[in-house]
Chains A and B, each alone.
Chain A
């Protein structure tokens, strides 16, 4: 056992109606890579926010290097040598890299010195970065480098990383891990938060497993199997997804030479994308976030209108049609952003059901809405997808992320789609519910629907897709059958390691 750096004793934090952390205790050794493992909602984020001084615990205490540690705010935490890389980046898009770094430092040097330091550290750790660039124009991987460099410039003793790999290609993940191992060898402890089991098994020395706010186990992840870890995390075993053997039918969705400009200021435009999806087939589209996923979904759903022949459905050009016309024909979609895109936050589930299902489910009569029928449809979705909610009258905002995700996917699946396009279908959903959603998608394919599943979760794509392609800077890679595809090949299809290099420090 290494010397203890951070000791946590009996930390408890309750919010109205939910206990986020209950009597959590564990210790992190100096230079140790410690995993914090748990499902969404297990209390990982609250716990690290307490360590970083963003949230005050109700009770319990922490000790850093044997001395009492109770940071009043992140400034105090940083002054004590605790740094954090956030899951949703804490970056400012309109500011430059150097300005972003300066904002995260206690006592930043003069701008010119800072730019030089950023260059030095970025070269040392193989994370090339130009301090003068505006963050809004950087890729997700580059943004993460900004966060990491911001932390490294302060010589932290404890580096907290909250789900750092969700935006990286497998090659980038490998390079990140090498950087982290070097840091650990230099004596920096790392608290690594993730629900990706294989990553934790290859990187971490100790794992603390949280479930429903409580520590349920501590183990050496290198000696446990992924299956064992998953069961500790979920608390029970769940059914793995079953694939059914199937034959593909005729081409339902055909995209040829699709190019479209992104509507957003910092978005990615689509460049010359072509593919076909047959009846009963699932096309998986991977890629690092921000490489055109949102735009592709918008172009297929009709939110972005293109030349008519760029998108065709059953041989009919539909590229020039809006979402309503495509939905009527049977081309349905579920976008990534649940609140504000897939669902209107302040409207009830019934109203949200009407918004996409009115035409296909016959919820309109002579221009008037048929509320009893709409309510009935919403209830069927809630029932079939096990959405935990008091009833269809509840506002979408009041549902947890996972439950709302089940509802918005279910709403499309229940409409008997001919073509279904989903983006990040299981994002933020617990493992058992994710398995249920994937099962529903596969079931739909078995009935002859053509599916396009856009996701950043490679394991998910390998599980459901028949063929796989990756988006990189708005272009689609060659599409290959999933069977026989290696992780390395997938990484290269996603654009490889971009311009990252292996760290140059000697451990």
Chain B
């Protein structure tokens, strides 16, 4: 084994790229769950975003248009979940699982003509001055737009939930929809907005996989990233910055174990492959082990207003 073959600068740089899809999906799902809705369809929305984003980018030659289309497509798909669960009061767990299956099937249908096709990818930005700092520059400041957008999104979600009236109302709806309704807030409308936002974020995450990280379309390419995003939201105790830690940890261990495999370590590959899942969950469990976990009290419960 040759640990010298692992370059720490490259490791950190690729960790950020590897974590971004999960981070995008998880921060979207956090908002959905904060409003009291459990959408298990993250995987399906991600892969739909991946295929739609890729197809549009190939056809128009613009990855940015691809990202926009991916966000839109997944938001529309998530609203089908929204209509089913919020108006028709279907079971959220079953509907979310159905959404995942629909997304997987739909994406392989749309994606057939695009297998093996190459798309243009997002260019890396060179942030003036910062990018030229030795070591730190290549690590942190030479990424593409979406990496920074995802971090900005975490900050924005945190600030909106903590400091704004809209964030307060969203949390209130997730905490007790009956009380929120009694005070005159539109529970269903707020939840639909959250669901659409979560869908759009998942779509962006999926498109990042097919347009930047891989970049190519293969069937089933999300390979469980949506489920990891869901788990990260729970183990991060519904806190935005902890979601960031969880996603980067997962991304980091994934990249590290790939590097270790390449460096020819004697640990069996199976252990290395499972390590990102194991370590992420372990660390987040330890973080959230004490005290109040903060699950929204109405999470997963259907709301029906009598009038």
Contacts and interface: CB of A to CB of B under 8 A. Distances in A.
Interface in B157-198: 165, 168-169, 171-172, 175-176, 178-185
Interface string B232-259: 0000000000000000000000000000
Interface in A44-87: 53-56, 73-75, 77-78, 86
A102 interface: yes
Contacts of B175: 92-95
Contacts of B297: 93-94
A73 B175 CA distance: 21
Given A73-B184, A75-B184, A92 B179 contact: yes
Contacts of A55: 306-307
B9 to A, nearest CB: 42
Nearest to A54: B182
Contacts of B182: 54, 74, 86, 90
Given A89-B179, A94-B297, A102-B165, A74 B184 contact: yes
Contacts of A74: 182-184
A103 B168 contact: yes
A92 to B, nearest CB: 4
A164 interface: no
Nearest to B307: A55
Contact of A103 (B183, B292, B307): B183
A56 B294 contact: no
A53 B307 CA distance: 10
Contacts, number: 56
A469 interface: no
A91 interface: yes
A104 interface: yes
Given A92-B176, A93-B175, A99 B183 contact: no
Nearest to B168: A99
A102 B172 CA distance: 11
B307 A56 contact: yes
B184 A53 contact: yes
A108 interface: yes
A94 B181 CA distance: 17
A143 to B, nearest CB: 11
A297 to B, nearest CB: 23
Contacts of B171: 92, 94-95
A92 B180 CA distance: 8
Interface string B55-91: 0000000000000000000000000000000000000
B184 A90 contact: no
B307 A90 contact: no
Interface string A453-477: 0000000000000000000000000
A299 to B, nearest CB: 25
Interface in A101-140: 102-104, 108
A15 B306 CA distance: 10
Nearest to B294: A94
A73 B186 CA distance: 10
A165 B175 CA distance: 25
Interface string B271-307: 0000000000000000000001010110000000011
7 closest Cβ pairs, A-B complex: A74-B184, A90-B179, A90-B182, A92-B175, A73-B184, A75-B184, A92-B172
Interface of A: 15, 53-56, 73-75, 77-78, 86, 89-95, 99, 102-104, 108, 265
7 contacts: A74-B182, A90-B178, A90-B179, A94-B175, A99-B172, A103-B183, A103-B185
